Structure 1
Amino acid sequence: MNKEEQETISKTFIMYSILMIGAFSFIFIEFADEVIEMELRSFDTPIIHYIHGLRTPMLGQFMSAITSIGSITGIMIGMSIALILLYINRKWREGLFLIVTVSGASLLNYFLKWMFKRDRPTLNPLIVEDGYSFPSGHSMVSFSFIGILAYLLTIMVKHNALKLLIMVSFLIIVFLIGLSRIYLGVHYPSDVIAGFAAGGAWLVICIVALKFKVKI
């Protein structure tokens, strides 16, 4: 690949990255504005009633297991395993970006929760969670963590079919984590979607920084 082709690919990558950051940011801002104006009841309530109507003891156990993946403990265990594997393969820069991505998402989520101060839903929660609700920390941090892992894996593997499998797996796991938060009654659907949006914007920023070897 010559220099001109590389520059074309880089420009295309930057263009799509800007579009994705803009789209994620737009979604988050739209929901944030509705939270401030307290106009999300008509959006959240029907979804909550529908998902809660699917509750069964077996599905509850499954959702509890899924939600643990996006917990602090789950993320820390996953990060530890990933960092060990990256260290073994001498991917020190990638390991550093993994830490920055997850730490940044966690800090940003803490700040956003503090800024919006939305109380958690009180409609038949199956577990007890402390803190504010918007945006969902599980959704935001897991999107960033699993997303950066998926990206690192896709640039390490050569087969397109395997790359596709990695991306599909990422989407399914992250979606289930977000769904579990609604199912367990500790987040509104709008919390989860906003968490995905904020996590997605942050993830793309970190991927761009990693791709263009920004010093951190």
Structure 2
Amino acid sequence: MAKGKATSKLNIAIIHPDLGIGGAERLIVDAAVELASYGHKVHIFTAHHDKNRCFEETISGTFPVTVYGSFLPRHVFYRLHALCAYLRCLFVAFCMLFMWPSFDVIIADQVSVVIPILKLKRSAKIVFYCHFPDLLLAQHTTFLRKLYRTPIDYVEEVTTGMADLILVNSNFTASTFANTFIHLNAKGIRPAVLYPAVNVDQFKEPSSFK
């Protein structure tokens, strides 16, 4: 398919927690640029976007970026990061639900708790990109940490399984997904591998970002 000549142009939304500078953000920006190059209408929604510290593509006009919930805290005294991320992303999802028309495809990145809300847009297919199971990145070393993480870990697995399509970036991550989310694996819910997940040609030249 030639770029800019998509036979069926789609209205695509991407929801991402914090559109700063990082590997996850680079992937989302590359995906948005590539989809737009095929003629699809792409719109990124996020809880934070600092125009002085972001990838250039997010302010170049290739696709719009809309911010909701930047006033919500990222942490509470440097704790409860996961809970705050959930609340911020849920706020973004509810704003999308009530303030924007239906999308053909919604790509949820990193935080799966938004998927049940996004599924209320019945005409949209939900794609979840799983970089790595969050429960494996969190500490469960003390009783209080385990008490805090148990409901979050449960919600992560349940809501991840609600996506119409789950994507990971390697067979290793797919295997880790299966070994971590054992209930989803038992139901036959397995992710598809998208590799490479970013435009590798960009690394041939110095990156351009602000």
Determine which structure has the larger strand proportion and give its number: 2
Compare the two structures and name the one with the higher helix fraction. Answer: 1
On whether the aligned pair clears a TM of 0.5, the verdict is no
TM-score by length of 2: 0.27
Please report the TM-score for the alignment, with normalisation by the length of structure 1: 0.27
Q: Which has the higher contact order (CA 8 A, sep 6+)?
A: 1
